[in-house]
Amino acid sequence: MGELATQKRRSFEPTNPAGEKEYSNQKLTNEERHLNKPEKFDAELVPLSEANHFMGDWLRLAERAVDPTPYYNPAYLLASAKHLCPETSCQLVLVWQGDGPKKLVGLFPISVKGIRYGYLHPVCELWRDCVTGNTVPLISGETIETVETVWSCFLEFLARHPNLPDVLHCRELGADTQSGLALQNLVSGKGIIRNVENSHERAVAKPVSSYADYTKKWSKKRSRNLRAAHRKLAEKGTVTFENISQSDPGFSDALDELLKLEASGWKGQMGTAFNSQKGSRDFALNAFNPKILPSAALLSVIRLDGRIIAGLFNLVSQGHVFGVRSGIDESLAQCSPGILAYTWLLEKLLETGDYQLLDSCTDGNHLLNKYWLERKTIEAVYVTASQRSGAKRIDRIINTRRAAKTLRDSCNGLIGRIRQKR
């Protein structure tokens, strides 16, 4: 679907269950009446290409959003739309608050998807690419009620817009995030349908204890194997661990070295490494090391005699570290450099307090589950923006996507078996 022209803002004001604005019965002065009046919330649709017109508001919203997420920050989203998904039109639904000077309180990046992507009916999908670790929108608000109001304004906008589907798909929404909880509260109160397609428990790490106490929760065998891996690596030379942000000297060189390291392994052979294709390489350079916009990148690397042998591509938002990719020197696989990088990053979290949370952004069966012991529930959620789209429509969408996935997996398996016989 091509980019839609910017639509006129639609207003939304909170009301009580009877549909009437809430005012006190006592006599109020004009000034008091103004202070007690519910603030207006406006929504508008703009193409991503017009982001420069509100870039300052966008950056400020990203800094104060109730749920940290680097994926909808300007540098990442612009790079993603241009280099990873150039064939998909990314549009932004902006929610503004206030009658006078307006404040940006909500940003929902969406794309319209149809049968090509396995949807029986068109849906609005919160933006997601092959790297995105969550699809939590940028929302600011001092109370959960404000967050709910922003969601209400957004969903009402979808329901009324003539060119947008009234079904929303959030592919990776944290169930325990403020946005996730607000959406649950809103749906239960408004009678809008919310259907969970699937969910999984993701490995995260929180600063709940010292590193020494944290490792006591691991099995003795796991701790012993980790010490042995560290010892094997130390026998080969001087081993150092380093976290490198964009402001640090040598960041660009480290990023280039880590990109080459990732491409030297199995991801390069499969064609999925960042360096494998021009689009994905350009994405990595612009998302992790943008020239103008602030970067959220953090590279966690292990060096052996000064050479990077393992590294983690991370993104940071409000003290939360989100894992993106990893790369290792596969000739040193017996030393488990990848796991060492993850556990050393964990030690950094627990001993220095530099970060508030490590989010692996992995599925439910990752090896990291054995080392990062806290969990975060991630859901794929469908929400109807209006009562026109009932439960049956969502059920048909879910069943069609499952059937398409089963067919795709069967075809991939057949192709794999044919290749093995050659």
Domain boundary among 355, 370, 399: 355
Q: State the pLDDT at residue 131.
A: 93
Name every residue whose Cβ is closer than 8 Å to that of residue 121 and which is 6 or more positions away in sequence. Answer: 114, 165, 167, 393, 396, 397
Total domains, the chain: 2
pLDDT of residue 388: 62
Residue 214 and residue 190 share a domain: no
CATH of the domain at 278: 3.40.630
Do both 58 and 133 map to the same domain?
yes
**CA-to-CA separations, 392 to 183, 197, 388, in angstroms, rounded:** 21, 13, 11
Nearest to 354 by CA among 319, 318, 302: 319
Q: Which residues contact 175 (CB under 8 A, 6 or more apart)?
A: 181, 184, 199, 377, 378, 379
Per-residue pLDDT, 121: 77
269-280 core/surface letters (b: 16 or more CB in 10 A; e: else): eeeebbbbeeeb
Say if residue 32 is in the same domain as residue 157. yes
Expressed as residue numbers, the domain containing 154 is: 10-201+378-412
Residue the block writes with tokens 């960041």: 251
| C-alpha to C-alpha distance for 311 and 95, rounded to whole angstroms | 38
pLDDT for res 223: 94
> What is the separation of C-alpha 62 from the centre of its chain, rounded to a whole number of angstroms?
13
91 lies in a domain? yes
The closest of 313, 377, 318, 321 to 346, measured between CA atoms, is 321
Question: What distances in angstroms separate CA 352 from CA 216, 261, 315, one per listed residue?
Answer: 19, 28, 18
Asked whether residue 365 is assigned to any structural domain, the reply reads no
Residue 356 has what pLDDT? 92
Nearest in space to 230 (alpha carbons), one of 222, 56, 406, 321: 222
Asked if 140 and 62 sit in the same domain, the reply is yes
Same domain for 189 and 256, yes or no, is no
For residue 359, which of 378, 381, 337, 340 has the smallest C-alpha distance?
378
284 neighbors 274 (Cβ within 8 angstroms): yes
Same domain, 174 and 213: no
Burial class (CB in 10 A: 0-12, 13-18, 19+), 358: buried
Looking at the fold, whether 340 and 383 belong to one and the same domain comes out as no
Over its C-alpha atoms, the chain yields an Rg (Å, rounded) of: 24
CA triplet 347, 363, 218: central angle to 5 degrees? 40
Is residue 326, in this structure, part of any structural domain at all?
yes
Q: Is residue 71 part of a domain?
A: yes
Is 247 found in the same domain as 147? Answer: no
A 10 A CB-CB count for 35 gives: 9
- CA angle (396 as vertex; 390, 397 as ends), nearest 5: 95
Would you give per-residue pLDDT tens digits along the chain (422 residues)? 333 333 444 444 443 333 333 323 333 343 332 333 357 899 999 999 999 999 999 999 999 999 999 999 999 999 999 999 998 899 999 999 987 789 999 999 999 987 666 676 788 999 999 999 999 999 998 899 999 999 999 999 998 999 999 889 999 999 999 999 999 988 866 667 788 888 999 999 999 889 999 999 999 999 999 999 999 999 999 999 999 998 899 999 999 999 999 999 999 999 999 999 999 999 999 999 988 888 889 999 999 999 999 999 999 999 999 999 999 999 999 999 999 999 999 999 998 888 999 999 998 788 899 999 999 999 999 898 876 656 666 666 666 766 666 766 778 777 777 766 76
Domain-located, residue 29: yes
Q: What is the pLDDT of residue 390?
A: 62
- The per-residue pLDDT for 392 is 66
User: Residue 106 has which token pair?
Assistant: 């909500």
